[in-house]
């Protein structure tokens, strides 16, 4: 059991719940076991926290003011299609469950929440052993689900800004990443000139030797290396 509990220590968890008491109970209940825990009072706050911190798993309610859970999950999935969600629900509505699945929910937990049951769900998600690597260039490979970058087989690390923009491209491999997406996720909705964005991308190109294609006036595309 202790080995299973220890598997949670690498996790960064975001809890999105508009009921302050429920949110605090979940945060305090998981805090001793996880690497980091963040709380958000609604979907909009959750989206902002997701943009600011590296989040492994999001635990979210559905019915919230300002931005509900469905809307938040959709926004986050547009940025990071592989994001893991656990949905908290007070209802057994098939419609709610189907909507949650469409937005990327992996597991569901009915209220009132049992911390031991939630902890078991999180442990289950840590057992995923996906070591599949995607080649970006002759020397660069990535493990998207574990968010690791390898150069000639050795793990490498980037600066904070380079890392955020690189993983935004990696989450959306072979797809257009717009300037709006970069501004929202990398710069947390603070204005960033196209020149500033271009400078970060130029440094990534030089340091990693990867091709990030500019689509004039629209954004950029990072393409996976084609297998021969």
pLDDT band at 175 (very low <50, low <70, confident <90, very high): very high
Say yes or no to pLDDT of 104 above 80: no
Q: Looking at the DSSP assignment, which residues form a beta bridge with residue 89?
A: 110
User: How many Å apart are CA 12 and CA 5, to the nearest integer?
Assistant: 14
User: How many Å apart are CA 48 and CA 67, to the nearest integer?
Assistant: 11
* Predicted pLDDT of residue 95: 56
For the 2-126 domain, the top CATH level (class) is alpha beta
pLDDT digits (tens, 9 = 90+) for 115-127: 988 988 888 777 6
User: How many Å apart are CA 156 and CA 47, to the nearest integer?
Assistant: 28
**Cα–Cα nearest to 224, from 158, 156, 146, 172:** 172
How far, rounded to the nearest angstrom, does the alpha carbon of residue 55 sit from its chain's CA centroid? Answer: 5
What average pLDDT does the structure give for the chain? 87
pLDDT band at 1 (very low <50, low <70, confident <90, very high): very low
Q: Which residues have CB under 8 Å from 91's CB, separation 6+?
A: none
- For the whole model, what pTM was predicted? 0.80
Residue 206 token pair: 């030089």
pLDDT digits (tens, 9 = 90+) for 180-207: 999 999 998 888 899 999 999 999 999 9
pLDDT band at 152 (very low <50, low <70, confident <90, very high): very high
CB 9 within 8 A of CB 36: no
**Domain boundary assignment for the chain:** 2-126, 134-222
Domain 134-222 has CATH 1.25.40.10: no
* Predicted pLDDT of residue 228: 42
Sign of the four-CA dihedral 106, 172, 146, 8: negative
CB 110 within 8 A of CB 84: no
Q: How many CB atoms lie within 10 A of CB 50?
A: 22
User: How many Å apart are CA 182 and CA 98, to the nearest integer?
Assistant: 30
């Amino acid at each position: 059991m202790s080995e299973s509990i220890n598997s949670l220590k690498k996790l960064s968890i975001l809890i999105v719940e508009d009921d302050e008491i429920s949110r605090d109970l979940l945060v305090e209940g998981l805090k001793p076991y996880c690497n980091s825990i963040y709380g958000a009072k609604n979907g909009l706050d959750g989206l902002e926290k997701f943009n600011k911190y590296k989040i492994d798993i999001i635990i979210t309610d559905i019915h919230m003011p300002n931005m509900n859970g469905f809307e938040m999950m959709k926004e986050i999935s547009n940025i990071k299609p592989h994001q893991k969600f656990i949905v908290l629900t007070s209802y057994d509505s098939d419609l709610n469950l189907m909507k949650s699945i469409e937005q990327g929910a992996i597991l569901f937990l009915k209220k009132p929440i049992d911390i031991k049951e939630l902890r078991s769900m999180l442990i289950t998600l840590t057992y995923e052993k996906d070591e599949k690597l995607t080649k970006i260039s002759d020397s660069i490979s990535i493990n998207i689900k574990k968010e690791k970058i390898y150069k000639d087989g050795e793990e490498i690390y980037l600066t904070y800004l380079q890392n955020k923009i690189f993983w935004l491209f990696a989450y959306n491999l072979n797809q257009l990443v717009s300037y709006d997406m970069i501004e929202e996720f990398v710069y947390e909705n603070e204005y960033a000139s196209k020149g500033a964005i271009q400078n970060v991308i130029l440094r990534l190109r030089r340091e990693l030797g990867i091709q990030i294609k500019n689509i004039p006036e629209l954004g950029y595309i990072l393409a996976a290396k084609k297998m021969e």
